[in-house]
Amino acid sequence: MHEASLVRLCLDGAASALTEKPTCQQAQTFRLAAMLLRGSHPEASRNLKRAYDEHQREHGCAPLPPEAAIEQGWIIGLARFRDTLRRKLTGEKHL
């Protein structure tokens, strides 16, 4: 799954608007996004953490360290992923 798809999915998770059960990769990305958004978007962070926790109760995928998302090629970088999520959540346009 490409970073742009993961961003869209995280935005759905942040809005509690998921329409399908996430995969382990997607759930791990929710966990990462929740950590990155905790200070700036606490409600979105809680919703993402809840989606991750629900997935863990059902499937129990082993938690990965944040850098695994980069190593696995899911996202390009933590700061970039965080900034993209923040911009999308606030409705800012990317310059």
pLDDT surpassing 80 at residue 94: no
SS3 content of the chain, % helix, strand, coil (to 5): 65, 0, 35
Residue 7 has pLDDT above 60, yes or no: yes
Q: How far apart are CA 92 and CA 86, in angstroms?
A: 8
pLDDT tens digits, one per residue of 72-87: 999 999 999 999 999 9
Report the candidate in 29, 26, 27, 40 with the shortest Cα–Cα distance to residue 83.
40
Q: What is the pLDDT of residues 27-75, one digit of tens each?
A: 999 999 999 999 999 999 999 999 999 999 999 888 889 899 999 999 9
